[in-house]
Chains A and B, each alone.
Chain A
Amino acid sequence: MVTRIPFVALLALVAGVAGCAMEERVILLPEANGAPTSLAVHQGSHDVVLDRPYAATDLTISDPFPYQATPAEVQTTFGDALAAQPARAAHFTLYFNEASDDLTQESRAELDHMLADVAKRPVRDIVIVGHTDAVGTDQYNDALAKKRAERVKAMLVERGIAAGDIDAIGRGKRDLLVPTPDGIAEPKNRRVEIVVR
């Protein structure tokens, strides 16, 4: 007679082995704007690519085990981690009048948008990078770019943002938004780019 291992014993064995390993799971989430997304998962000699929303893989046992997760599973297991997610960084660009550190008329409205965003954040970390167009020497444009960044910083400080939370730097004409030959006046290059985190 063939010895039969009771099914229950087998189950217990499998559960025992699984119990030794750390449970590991990865779930790909949808992009905020519905764009395509993917995540490459490499485990030992196995590679799995997750490439649709809620595609998931369980890595607890040696082979990745793909499955389709649900928003409910994400909320149950990752609710605390997701609740602690900081606000996304916001990017703003302000433009300047030629050879000047005065904002253009339109950019004054954008400055107000930026201030509204800054006001919503409990801890701020703001980086202001000044740029110029390609008219003038490097030395002149480095100084002008820095002056533009410092001017915007001063506007923020005036409105109650701590100076220590703001970095203002100038990049002169090294990083043109619209590439032009040297000496060309281009309004879109006369700007500061601001990241609010």
Chain B
Amino acid sequence: MLRPIFAILLAFVVAAANAADIGQIKVSKGAVTIERAGQQIPGAVGTHVQASDVVRTGGDGSVGITMTDDSLLSAGPNSVLALDRYDFDDVTSRGQFDASLAKGSLAVVSGRLAKQSPDAMKIRTPSAVLGVRGTEFVVRVGDGH
């Protein structure tokens, strides 16, 4: 009787363990949360991020993330940053990284994906798509200057 439940639980645990870590929070100040599959996870230093995570900072918050392709994403206060898609082949450096900034401020240093092929890394804002060919830039989405 217990066996099917156990099997389901086990499958769930295995699935959770398999969800790939794509980066890690290295810097976290003030209120930082990660929204993952409807759950709110504290965005403490050391926390690993996964594809489809949405990272939010509060009015006193800021966060710095290093991805497995060595790219760096850091956001200032009142930001909403979604890690929409991340595929990275560590051997060939090929793949795709799409992230979007719904609001707030974001500083980017691109990594191996963008170096390997232009446009392998894209950052979206509510109105534009940025194709990353160089390395460093900043983006702001806000309610006025």
A interface residue numbers (CB < 8 A to B): 19, 21-32, 35-44, 50, 59, 62, 64, 74, 77-89, 121-123, 125, 127, 171, 175, 195, 197
Contacts and interface: CB of A to CB of B under 8 A. Distances in A.
Interface SS of chain B: strand
Interface in B121-142: 125-142
Given A83-B62, A197-B66, 14 more contacts: A28-B134, A31-B136, A37-B135, A39-B133, A40-B133, A78-B105, A81-B74, A81-B75, A84-B29, A85-B64, A85-B107, A85-B109, A87-B26, A171-B91
Interface string B11-31: 000000000000011110100
Contacts of B35: none
Contacts of B89: none
B137 A26 contact: yes
Contacts of A19: 144
B106 interface: yes
A125 B141 contact: no
Interface of A is mostly: loop
B141 A24 contact: yes
Q: How large is the interface on B (under 10, 10 to 19, 20 to 34, 35 or more residues)?
A: 35 or more
Contacts of B132: 39
Interface of B: 24-27, 29, 45-46, 62-66, 68, 70, 72, 74-77, 79, 90-91, 103, 105-107, 109, 111, 119, 125-145
B142 A40 contact: no
A87 to B, nearest CB: 7
23 contacts: A24-B140, A25-B139, A28-B137, A29-B138, A36-B134, A37-B133, A37-B134, A38-B133, A39-B130, A39-B132, A40-B130, A43-B129, A81-B74, A81-B79, A82-B107, A84-B74, A86-B64, A86-B74, A88-B109, A122-B26, A123-B45, A171-B91, A197-B66
